[in-house]
Each structure stands twice: as structure tokens, then as C-alpha cells.
Amino acid sequence: MRLHHKGYIPLLLMMAILLVMVWLINLVFPQQTTVHYILYVAGAIFYFLCIRFFRRPFREIHPDPDKILSAADGHVVVIEEIYETEYFQDQRIQVSIFMSPFDVHVNWYPVSGEILHTKYHHGSHIPAYRPKASLENERMSIVIENEHGKPVMMTQIAGIVARRVFTNAKTGSYVFQGEEAGIIRFGSRVDLILPKDAEIRVKLGQKVKGCETIIASFQDKSLFLQKS
């Protein structure tokens, strides 16, 4: 199992905390009992789950410029039309994917193209599955325009447990569909803000997989022909 490099320091700190706790327990209660062993097992399970959280899976990518792939593992919690105010200033379709602490938290670019816009927003840490998390939580917005001039916004949103959003996105750079975009530490969410004419291919509550599940497809073929 590969680990994401952003997990090295948290895992080392967590190991140190657990070892200190074991030392204190044995200092105060040196006689080994069933309770001791239960605590040891609980600590080991907890640490294993922390390691699993930072896993970095390999995903085989089949690039398709007409498709928008899932940027994360998780469940679809929002599909709705919104008025996007940060960049587009028009009507768009929002598809939100909630990642529980048990999901992979690496994020991937949903389309290939040039990054036109990036913006980090300081914010609160309300539960990521709540609708207003898109506007109030700590988050990172990235706008990618594909080769046909179709822009998509991807927003990484921290949740009630997640406290850090990490991304490698840089304005002006070119990224590839399925390339790693970053990671959000612990329970969190990714919003995809899509063109209004995009054909949505998922349903509310559906389990999706990053780089594999098709979230939507572009519809305006005439625009593609004009730009080719």
C-alpha cells in the first residue's frame, strides 16, 4: 500500500502520541490486565485506520476529452443547478462528492486542460456534507479549461475533521485527466461545477470512484467542431 507524502508527519506524530499514552498507562497502572490489552488493540486498530486514510492507490486512466471523471472516491450528495459567483458568474450544475474518513482522500483532475484560476479560501469546518460547506468552509477552487474551451471548476473542501487542503494546482499550468490534484486530510468533500448543458451521468447517493466513474459528459458538439 502506497502512502501519500502528506501523511508522513501526521502518522509520525500519531505514533509518538500513542507510545506516550502507552508509557503513561503502564507508569500509572504497571500491572497488566485485560483492560491494558483492550487498549493496546484499540490503539493498533486506530493507527491502522490512520495509515489506511493516507493510502495512495494506483488508478488506470482512460482519458476522454468528452467526459468528466470523478475527482474523488465517495458518495454523491448534491446534484443541483446553482448560480456560481466566484469565477463564472452564471448558471452551472454542481455535483458534490462527500468523502468519509474511510474513503481514499487523494483527489484527481476530472478533465485535461489549462488551469485558468486557483483561489484558496479561509473558512470554518462545518460538516462537509452540509450544502453551505461549499461557501463557508476552508476550500481550494481550481478552474480547468479543456482543449475544446469547456471550463470545469473543482473545489476541494475541508470538513469537520479535515483541517487542511493540499493541492499542486498552479494557474497557467497544463494538467491531465486523472493526474493527482492533491489531498484533503480526513472527512471532506469535492464539488464539481459543470457547464449547464453537461449531461449528468450519476445519481444522488451513488458511490463513485476517482478516475473511473463518469460524472458527466459534454454536450455541445457544435462548439467542439468550431474550435477544431
- Residues 140-153: tens digit of each pLDDT: 999 999 988 999 99
Verify whether residue 188 is a known catalytic residue.
Answer: yes
Which range is least confidently modeled, 11-20, 110-119, 182-191? Answer: 182-191
Sequence letter at residue 55: R
CA–CA gap between residue 210 and residue 104 (Å, rounded)? 9
62-101 b/e with 16+ CB inside 10 Å = b? eeeeebbbbbbbbbbbbbeebebeebbeeebbbbbbbbbe
Q: Which pLDDT score is estimated for 136? A: 65
Q: Which pLDDT score is estimated for 60? A: 83
Rounded to an integer, the average pLDDT of 147-160 is 88
pTM of the model: 0.79
| pLDDT, greater one: 225 or 39 | 39
CA–CA gap between residue 181 and residue 175 (Å, rounded)? 9
> Which CA distances in Å does 223 have to 63, 81, 113, 148?
20, 22, 16, 7
> In this predicted model, what pLDDT tens digit does every residue of 59-80 receive, in sequence order?
888 889 999 999 999 999 999 9
Rounded to an integer, the average pLDDT of 81-92 is 94
Catalytic residue among 188, 217, 222, 228: 188
3-state secondary structure 68-104: EECCCCEEEEEEEEEEECCCCCEEEEEEEEEECCCCC
